[in-house]
């Protein structure tokens, strides 16, 4: 006796969250059945393995049919074939577009091209995520990227509108798109200690302050491309370290303000010029694409690592950066206050986030 055909169709489409997760994780039907058996579901429900097999097949078939619609989530809302309550629709979409931290760290900042797709095998082996799941996640990134890349308006809003993602997930995708577009290097060994969350945080700050959209909300690509003019202008900041008087004055202002407040005051005092030079030089170099890509490497090398080696507590770093940014306003010879604020405001936020073990 063999089962030729075995289906279950509900007027309301049944979605089993556990099976959905297994499907999203890229398990084959037989693996999924084995995993479900291990979860103790048979004992809980008194079902047999055959029942579980049939149930799993059924759900996989449904998910397979739904996948086409999930590629364009608004279609899922308007289609008539599957009657799914709105809360379940949202769950399907949200889970489908969710991604693994380990995976996103591997592709963050890489070009979402065929070349990268070929590397998915390696990523799968390295991260232990199934190739199928890697492909889904990669295709999701690419799909979102393609849709919103040249669109006018806020990146997060565009993503939410076209993919109906939650606020949180849409922000994550905005970061992924932003990183992919600007090709920031995130894979270096030095940067391994950073989480996706760290990068996403920085991306959000940069999108808010450093992109075209920060000044003009009516341009294409406004949230994906950095404001070229702004980057050009950043060269002007160089005088903060090139002009020796300014540098000394800056240092003395910072030191006066922080004396007694910093646990690592002497280290700060000794390192001030190096740190300041590092931060300003990073800014000055951003005119070159290559250096833009290395932004995070530079920040870690020039600021995070020196501070860390002197064991600055995070609070001291915060006090220092605040004072460091604010003191510039008191430098009479320096005219680019607005530019400095736009640069340093964002950088300060990023650095504080990047500063951890």
Partner 1 sequence: MPGKLKVKIVAGRHLPVMDRASDLTDAFVEVKFGNTTFKTDVYLKSLNPQWNSEWFKFEVDDEDLQDEPLQITVLDHDTYSANDAIGKVYIDIDPLLYSEAATVISGWFPIYDTIHGIRGEINVVVKVDLFNDLNRFRQSSCGVKFFCTTSIPKCYRAVIIHGFVEELVVNEDPEYQWIDRIRTPRASNEARQRLISLMSGELQRKIGLKVLEMRGNAVVGYLQCFDLEGESGLVVRAIGTACTLDKLSSPAAFLPACNSPSKEMKESPLVHPPSHGCRSTHNSPIHTATGSRLTQNFSVSVPTLIYTGMGSGSAGKEGGPFKALLRQQTQSALEQREFPFFTLTAFPPGFLVHVGGVVSARSVKLLDRIHNPDEPETRDAWWAEIRQEIKSHAKALGCHAVVGYSESTSICEEVCILSASGTAAVLNPRFLQDGTVEGCLEQRLEENLPAGCGFCHIPYDELNMPFPAHLTYCYNCRKQKVPDVLFTTIDLPIDATVIGKGCLIQARLCRLKKKAQAEANATAISNLLPFMEYEVHTQLMNKLKLKGMNALFGLRIQITVGENMLMGLASATGVYLAALPTPGGIQIAGKTPNDGSYEQHISHMQKKINDTIAKNKELYEINPPEVSEEIIGSPIPEPRQRSRLLRSQSESSDEVTELDLSHGKKDAFVLEIDDTDAMEDVHSLLTDVPPPSGFYSCNTEIMPGINNWTSEIQMFTSVRVIRLSSLNLTNQALNKNFNDLCENLLKSLYFKLRSMIPCCLCHVNFTVSLPEDELIQVTVTAVAITFDKNQALQTTKTHVEKSLQRASTDNEELLQFPLELCSDSLPSHPFPPAKEHLESASSNSGIPAAQRATSVDYSSFADRCSSWIELIKLKAQTIRRGSIKTTVTVEKASPMGEGNFRNRSAPPCANSTVGVVKMTPLSFIPGAKITKYLGIINMFFIRETTSLREEGGVSGFLHAFIAEVFAMVRAHVAALGGNAVVSYIMKQCVFMENPNKNQAQCLINVSGDAVVFVRESELEVVSTQQPTANCQPSCTGGEVTT
- Of the candidates 147, 133, 71, 63, the one whose C-alpha atom is nearest the C-alpha of residue 104 is 133
Residue choice 62, 137, 186, 271 for contact with partner 1 (CB under 8 A): 62
Contact between 146 and partner 1 per CB under 8 A: no
List the structure tokens of 75. Answer: 């279609």
Residue 49 binds partner 1 (CB under 8 A): no
CB of 109 to partner 1, least distance (A): 20
- Least distance in angstroms from the C-beta of 200 to partner 1: 9
The dihedral sign for the CA sequence 231, 225, 111, 21 = positive
Q: Nearest-CA neighbor of 11 among 80, 96, 93? A: 80
Q: Which of residues 162-221 bind partner 1 (CB under 8 A)?
A: 164-168, 171, 197, 201, 204-205, 208, 213-214, 217
Q: By CB under 8 A, name the one of 34, 35, 37, 47 that touches partner 1.
A: 47
How many chain residues touch partner 1 (CB under 8 A)? 69
- 57 lies in the binding site for partner 1 (CB under 8 A): yes
The token pair at 1 is 């006796």
Phi, psi of 226 (to 5 degrees): -70, 150
Rule CB under 8 A: say whether 68 interacts with partner 1.
no
How far, in Å, CA of 198 to CA of 297, rounded?
14
Binding string, 72-91, against partner 1, x = CB under 8 A?
---x-xxxxxxx-xxxxxxx
Q: Is 338 in the site for partner 1 (CB under 8 A)?
A: no
CB of 229 to partner 1, least distance (A): 19
Report the nearest approach of partner 1 to the CB of residue 88 (Å). Answer: 7
Return left, alpha or beta for 144; rule: phi > 0 is left, psi -120 to 50 is alpha, else beta: alpha
Q: Quick one: tokens of 158?
A: 């565009």
Q: Is 137 in the site for partner 1 (CB under 8 A)?
A: no
CA-to-CA dists, residue 66 to 93, 104, 314, 356, angstroms: 10, 24, 47, 42
DSSP string, 108-131: TTS--SHHHHHTHHHHHHHH---H
Enumerate binding residues for partner 1 (CB under 8 A).
1-14, 17, 44-48, 50-52, 54-55, 57-58, 61-62, 64-65, 75, 77-83, 85-91, 93-94, 153-154, 156-157, 160-161, 164-168, 171, 197, 201, 204-205, 208, 213-214, 217, 349
């Amino acid at each position: 006796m063999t089962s030729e055909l075995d289906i279950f169709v509900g007027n309301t489409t049944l979605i089993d969250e556990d099976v959905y997760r297994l499907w999203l994780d890229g398990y084959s039907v037989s693996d999924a059945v084995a995993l479900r058996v291990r979860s103790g579901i048979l004992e809980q429900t008194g079902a047999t393995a055959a029942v579980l097999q049939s149930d799993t097949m059924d759900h996989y078939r449904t998910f397979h049919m739904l996948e086409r619609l999930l590629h364009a989530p608004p279609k899922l809302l308007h289609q008539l074939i599957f009657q799914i309550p709105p809360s379940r629709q949202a769950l399907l979409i949200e889970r489908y577009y969710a991604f693994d931290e380990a995976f996103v760290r591997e592709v963050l900042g890489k070009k979402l091209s065929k070349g990268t797709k070929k590397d998915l095998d390696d990523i799968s082996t390295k991260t232990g995520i199934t190739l199928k799941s890697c492909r889904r996640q990669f295709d999701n990134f690419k799909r979102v990227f393609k849709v919103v890349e040249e669109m006018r308006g806020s990146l997060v809003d565009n993503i939410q509108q076209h993919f109906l993602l939650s606020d949180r997930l849409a922000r994550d995708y905005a970061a992924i798109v932003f990183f992919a577009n600007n090709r920031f290097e995130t894979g270096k060994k030095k940067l391994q200690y950073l989480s996706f969350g760290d990068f996403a945080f920085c991306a959000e700050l940069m999108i808010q302050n450093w992109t075209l959209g920060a000044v003009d909300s009516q341009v294409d690509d406004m949230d994906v491309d950095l404001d070229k003019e702004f980057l050009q202008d950043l060269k002007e900041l160089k005088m903060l370290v090139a002009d020796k008087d300014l540098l000394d004055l800056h240092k003395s202002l910072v030191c006066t303000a922080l004396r007694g407040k910093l646990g690592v005051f002497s280290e700060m005092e000794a390192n001030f010029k190096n740190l300041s030079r590092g931060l300003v030089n990073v800014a000055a170099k951003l005119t070159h694409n290559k250096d833009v890509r290395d932004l995070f490497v530079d920040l870690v090398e020039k600021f995070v690592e020196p501070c860390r080696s002197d064991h600055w507590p995070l609070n001291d770093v915060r006090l220092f950066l605040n004072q460091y940014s604010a003191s510039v306003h008191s430098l009479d010879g320096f005219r680019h206050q607005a530019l400095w604020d736009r640069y340093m405001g964002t950088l300060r936020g990023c650095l504080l986030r990047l500063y951890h073990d």
